[in-house]
Amino acid sequence: MKNKVIPNPILPAAESAGTSQRMVVLVLLPEDNMTIGPQTRKEGSKWRDARSSLHLRGETRPRLQQGVGLMLGSLARKALRRVYHHTDRILIAEFSGNPVTTVIVVYSPTNVAPPEEVEKFYEDLATAVRDVPAHNFLAILGDFNARLGPEDARFPYYDSTNRNGAYLTALLMEHELLPANTMFRKRTGKRWTFQDRASGMLRQLDYILVRQKWRNSILNAEPYSTFSSVGSDHRVVSMRVRLSLRVPKPSPRIRYDWKAFSTDSGLQARTSLQSRHPDIVVARGRVEEARLGYVSEPTVERRGILNEAKQLLFSTYDKIKGEELMERVQRVQAAQGERQYGEAWRVINEMTGRKRTKEGQVEGHSPEERVVTWFNHFRRLLGTTAEGDEEEIPSFLQNLNIDDGPFTTSEFARAKTTLREGKSAGPDGIPQRS
What does the pLDDT look like over 144-192, one tens digit per residue? 999 898 888 888 888 888 999 999 999 998 899 999 999 888 888 888 8
Residue 430 has pLDDT above 80, yes or no: no
Residue 195 has pLDDT above 50, yes or no: yes
- Does 287 or 195 have the greater pLDDT score? 287
In which band, very low, low, confident or very high, does the pLDDT at 388 lie, cut at 50, 70 and 90? Answer: confident
pLDDT score of 98: 85
Is the Cα torsion angle 139, 143, 145, 148 positive or negative in sign? Answer: positive
105-114, 271-280, 314-323, 401-410: which range is least confident on average?
Answer: 271-280
pLDDT score of 366: 80
Residue 268 has pLDDT above 60, yes or no: yes
Measure the CA–CA gap between 56 and 44, rounded to whole angstroms.
10
Residue 295 has pLDDT above 60, yes or no: yes
Residue 127 has pLDDT above 90, yes or no: yes
Taking all residues of the chain, what is their mean pLDDT, rounded to a whole number?
76
Question: Radius of gyration of the chain from Cα atoms?
Answer: 37
pLDDT score of 207: 92
32-41, 299-308, 401-410: which range is least confident on average?
Answer: 32-41
pTM, 2 dp: 0.50
168-172, 242-246, 265-269, 272-276: which range is least confident on average?
Answer: 272-276
What does the pLDDT look like over 31-78, one tens digit per residue? 333 444 444 343 343 433 333 333 333 333 444 455 666 667 777 788
Give exposure, 144-168, as e/b (b: 16+ Cβ within 10 Å): bbbbbbeebbeebbbeebeebbbbb
What are the φ and ψ backbone dihedral angles of 123, each rounded to 5 degrees?
A: -65, -45
- Measured in Å, how far apart are the chain's first and last C-alpha atoms? 88
In which band, very low, low, confident or very high, does the pLDDT at 92 lie, cut at 50, 70 and 90? Answer: very high
What does the pLDDT look like over 221-253, one tens digit per residue? 888 887 666 677 788 888 888 887 776 778 888
In which band, very low, low, confident or very high, does the pLDDT at 121 lie, cut at 50, 70 and 90? Answer: very high
Question: Amino acid identity, residue 36?
Answer: I
What are the φ and ψ backbone dihedral angles of 280, each rounded to 5 degrees?
A: -65, -40
Instruction: For residues 400-410, give the mean pLDDT.
Output: 83
Q: Where are the domains of the chain?
A: 3-241, 271-353
pLDDT score of 210: 94
Query: Residue 201 CB: number of other CB atoms within 10 A?
Result: 10
Three-state SS across the chain? CCEEEEECCCCCCCCCCCCEEEEEEEEECCCCEEEEEEEEEECCCEEECCCCCCEEECCCCCCCEEEECCEECHHHHHHEEEEEEEECCEEEEEECCCCCEEEEEEECCCCCCCHHHHHHHHHHHHHHHHCCCCCCEEEEEEECCCCCCCCCCCCCCCCCCCHHHHHHHHHHHHHCEEEHHHCCCCCHHHCCCEECCCCCCEECCEEEEEEHHHHHHEEEEEEECCCHHHCCCECEEEEEECCCCCCCCCCCCCCCCHHHHHHCHHHHHHHCCCCCCHHHHHHHHHHHHHHHHHHHCCCHHHHHHHHHHHHHHHHHHHHHHHHHHHHHHHHHHHHHHCCCHHHHHHHHHHHHCCCCCCCCCCCCCCHHHHHHHHHHHHHHHHCCCCCCCCCCCCCCCCCCCCCCCCCCHHHHHHHHCCCCCCCCCCCCCCCCCC
- Does 398 or 25 have the greater pLDDT score? 398
pLDDT score of 126: 93
Domain 3-241 belongs to what architecture?
Answer: 4-Layer Sandwich (3.60)
- Does 288 or 403 have the greater pLDDT score? 288
